[in-house]
Homo-oligomer: A and B are copies of this chain.
């Protein structure tokens, strides 16, 4: 099991903050991260390749085939070096998901990463009008620094297992001494629904937190483009293998 990090652009990072947005429920995290990268004009600095990604190629805007890849983008924003982890896929199974996170954490430790923010969705049984963002993580102080009217930090018995890199990364990062937080936006749990609204809530939280100065007016039209792009790529991939669906806790049960 090998994950190869290729530095496509040399960049000296200073205590960076990682924002993760790989595919998952409603692609909430992916939509949010892709939008921020586009809007901030972040630069690709690293590509991660592996045989433990899906055995398929996707077609890019140039009508050329591309192997599955996970990428890291960089942008200095205000006082922060932000790096974004994005891609069209997750590692293919349980063990490769753990291995991927460890390889990544080794890298993050080497660049003195200050904090990890993973982004994801929570699939509801209906479309939420005003999606909440649930905040959990591995560090009480880090969690408590997130506040706002749509934010909920009461996640026990409400938020189910956080599957794939979004969960594992912050489950493992505490061992590397890196605090980690997950922002989980509510969305509709239908496999083909794109969690734009949940992503928007997450973007607004991070925009404010890091002073990204995102043009929120453009957000709707930008998001509509990203929506189209992701829709064409991800819906064709069929159900993504690793990040299984999870649903919020229900207190009823048979018995």
B-contacting residues of A (Cβ < 8 Å)? 51-67, 92-95, 97-99, 127, 136-140, 143, 153-157, 159-164, 167-168, 170-172, 180, 182, 188, 190, 192-194, 196, 227-228, 231-232, 235-238, 242, 244-251, 253-255
Contact = CB atoms under 8 A, between A and B. Distances in A.
B254 A232 contact: no
Nearest to A93: B55
B57 A170 contact: yes
Contacts of A62: 140, 156
A47 to B, nearest CB: 12
- How many copies of this chain sit in the oligomeric assembly? 4
B249 A155 contact: no
A253 B57 contact: no
A181 B48 CA distance: 24
A202 B170 CA distance: 37
Contacts of A196: 255
A164 B56 contact: yes
Nearest to A88: B161
Given A56-B167, A163-B56, A232 B192 contact: no
A194 B253 contact: yes
A65 B136 contact: yes
Contacts of A57: 161-162, 167-168, 170-171
A15 B251 CA distance: 41
A151 to B, nearest CB: 12
A139 B99 CA distance: 32
A82 B250 CA distance: 34
A188 B255 contact: yes
Contact of A171 (B65, B98, B168, B172): B65
A53 B242 CA distance: 14
